[in-house]
Structure 1
Amino acid sequence: MQSLNISTSAMRGIQQALDNTANNLANIDTIGYKRRVASFSELLSDSMNEQPAADNQNRNTSVGIRIGSGARLGMTKLDLGHGSVKVTDVPTDVLVEGNGYFLVTHKIKDATGNVIQEENRLTRDGSFKVSFDDDEQGYVLHTTSGHILTDENGVNIVLPEPVTNIQITAEGALTANGVSYGNIGLWKVDNPDQLQQVGQNLFDAELDSGANPTTKYTNALITGDATLRQGALEGSNVSMTEEMSQLVNIQRAYQLNSRAVGISDQMMGIANQLRSR
């Protein structure tokens, strides 16, 4: 039974690693996407130390027999490597160079249309669009998911009229038609591995509705940890070659454990036949 437990637990972890690889491949063209790397950890193991004296003679290894219980998917670590730079020459496309994330917000409404909560999200996707927002009564920069870009105080950036000639400096200063509209907020996350992905290329900022981001994060533009580049985007850091190689390794590991389950089943069948005689 122990061999079955070891193989089945490994197969569950391998299946989760396969799902992770499939998600990386699905986002190979997603702007600002960061791949995740699966890593395994060992389950609880037991040690048998009471062995016959004959087994201890001429022994080169440590005393005791280590009996494992298999492995599981320990964690999926976020790969913070930068993706390729894509020059678009679109004024509302902004590339983050360095360690920083945009803070974007989205209002959640009830059935009557009243705002009940404002969720805060972090993203590296700088492909913003300009459109009119009824709640803000002005034009905003928003992501493809509808989340609005905020300034250095966590307040939505609102343009009172349709503007042209948008200029964004490396330090985040936003101007349009020669009028200044504040500075874009870019926030440094000390431990990005703890960021929780919530879909749509967004991470949970773990901020209360209306909270100032300075209470949790530091401005990466002020500290010099990052700069902005207008008219360019950061591509995904997923490598097709690396992911396909990982896919082959996962397939081989799954086949090995599947074969181990089949052999264990055959051995238990033979033991049952011997006992019935």
Structure 2
Amino acid sequence: MNRTMMTATNTLNQLQSKIDQISNDIANVDTTAYKKTQTSFNDLLTQSFNNQPSETKEKGRLTAPRIRQGTGAMISQSQLVLSQGALKTTDRNLDAAFTRDDQFFTVSVQDDNGVNTRLTRDGAFYLSPNANDQMMLVTSAGHKVLDENGEPILIEGNIKDIKILENGLLIVDTEENGEKSFGLGIVSVKKLQFLDRLGGNLLGLPKNFTALGVTEDDIMTALTGDSRNQAAVRQGTLESSNVDLSKEMTDLINVQRSYQFQSRAVTMADQMSGLVNGIR
């Protein structure tokens, strides 16, 4: 196959992945606490041709020696951007937002891999009744919100008031039992690059993180005991996504132009092949 066509095709596949990533960010511009993805490109393997066997003729050359021919571009890194989204006041006592960009709530999620602990910054919580006439704290998607011990938060009695303190303590005042406090499960992530985006505005540890030479404690720290004072939670507030729609649209236009350029390169390579094959 024509080398120009191969190079353009390699790049087209990667540009399509970039378009998909931008489209996903734009689709979640109004998703609570959604974090955008930043993608960077690198050249694929580059071949070097020695076009000048005599080094004496290279004296005074300002560019690097030899002729280098690339084979396209590839996505070298896709990384979550944890910059703080704008905070919007809701005055709802079950809404909570972090004011520090490295902290997450822990929730229990049941999927095809069983029951696992996941991370989210979406603090739009709700109360869901269970079979034991208790109220369970859940996310907007119905996932159980965990306390600092990794257990679901269950509330008994008729609720009069709910407070969420800055350090992440949930204080529930009921008619039967008075005030009772629960420590919301909060972790501080130190190495975001080891977390996987799992859909549904959730993050989790990769299946092979032990093979990467790191432990769970290296990646994140649970804020319990004295370290709970490091938590920064604001009640009656939700965090908006950190997606800048104008920037995403600009990036999308630039990627589309690159996609058109590579498509044109494939067309030109095909036309050149047709001309060569037509020579008698």
Q: Does the C-alpha gap of structure 1 residues 107 and 199 become closer, same or farther in structure 2, counting only changes over 3 Å?
A: closer
**TM-score, scaled relative to structure 2:** 0.86
1:267 lines up with 2:267 in the alignment: no
**What is residue 106 of structure 1 aligned with on the other side?**
109
The range that moved more, 53-62 or 18-27, is: 53-62
The range that moved more, 225-234 or 29-38, is: 225-234
Equivalent-residue separation in structure 1 for 2:144 and 2:218 (angstroms) = 20
**What is residue 241 of structure 1 aligned with on the other side?**
246
Q: Does the C-alpha gap of structure 1 residues 225 and 266 become closer, same or farther in structure 2, counting only changes over 3 Å?
A: farther
* 2:168–2:228 CA contact under 8 A, matched in 1: no
* 2:89–2:236 CA contact under 8 A, matched in 1: yes
**What is residue 188 of structure 1 aligned with on the other side?**
188
Letter in 2 for 1:70: G
Equivalent-residue separation in structure 2 for 1:180 and 1:192 (angstroms) = 34
Q: 2:115 aligns with which of 108, 114, 118?
A: 118
**What is residue 79 of structure 1 aligned with on the other side?**
81
The range that moved more, 157-166 or 89-98, is: 157-166
Residues 228-252 of structure 1: CA distance to partner in whole angstroms, max 9, x if unpaired? Answer: 1110000000011101101110111
Residues 37-72 of structure 1: CA distance to partner in whole angstroms, max 9, x if unpaired? Answer: 121121111111253549746532222111111111
**What is residue 92 of structure 1 aligned with on the other side?**
94
**What is residue 144 of structure 1 aligned with on the other side?**
140
Local SS of the residue matching 1:90: coil
* 2:138–2:145 CA contact under 8 A, matched in 1: yes
Superposed displacement of residue 193, structure 1 = 2.5
| Unaligned ranges ≥5, structure 2 | 208-215
Superposed displacement of residue 107, structure 1 = 4.3
* 2:187–2:222 CA contact under 8 A, matched in 1: yes
Superposed displacement of residue 141, structure 1 = 1.1
Q: Does the C-alpha gap of structure 1 residues 272 and 126 become closer, same or farther in structure 2, counting only changes over 3 Å?
A: same
* 1:103–1:150 CA contact under 8 A, matched in 2: yes
Equivalent-residue separation in structure 1 for 2:204 and 2:187 (angstroms) = 13
* 1:166–1:175 CA contact under 8 A, matched in 2: yes
Pairing 1:204-219 to 2, within 5 Å after superposition? 204-205=204-205, 217-219=220-222
Equivalent-residue separation in structure 2 for 1:126 and 1:261 (angstroms) = 48
**What is residue 64 of structure 2 aligned with on the other side?**
62
Q: Does the C-alpha gap of structure 1 residues 143 and 117 become closer, same or farther in structure 2, counting only changes over 3 Å?
A: same
Q: Does the C-alpha gap of structure 1 residues 215 and 14 become closer, same or farther in structure 2, counting only changes over 3 Å?
A: closer
Letter in 2 for 1:119: N
Letter in 1 for 2:262: N
Letter in 1 for 2:129: F
Equivalent-residue separation in structure 2 for 1:28 and 1:220 (angstroms) = 29
Q: Does the C-alpha gap of structure 1 residues 215 and 67 become closer, same or farther in structure 2, counting only changes over 3 Å?
A: closer
Equivalent-residue separation in structure 1 for 2:76 and 2:219 (angstroms) = 27
Residues 133-178 of structure 1: CA distance to partner in whole angstroms, max 9, x if unpaired? Answer: 33x7621111122111111121111112341310111011211114
Percent identity, aligned pairs only, is 34
Local SS of the residue matching 2:160: coil
* 1:97–1:227 CA contact under 8 A, matched in 2: yes
Equivalent-residue separation in structure 2 for 1:156 and 1:215 (angstroms) = 25
Superposed displacement of residue 219, structure 1 = 2.8
Pairing 1:163-178 to 2, within 5 Å after superposition? 163-177=159-173, 178=178
| Unaligned ranges ≥5, structure 1 | 110-115, 208-212
The range that moved more, 52-61 or 91-100, is: 52-61
**What is residue 112 of structure 1 aligned with on the other side?**
none
* 1:39–1:76 CA contact under 8 A, matched in 2: yes
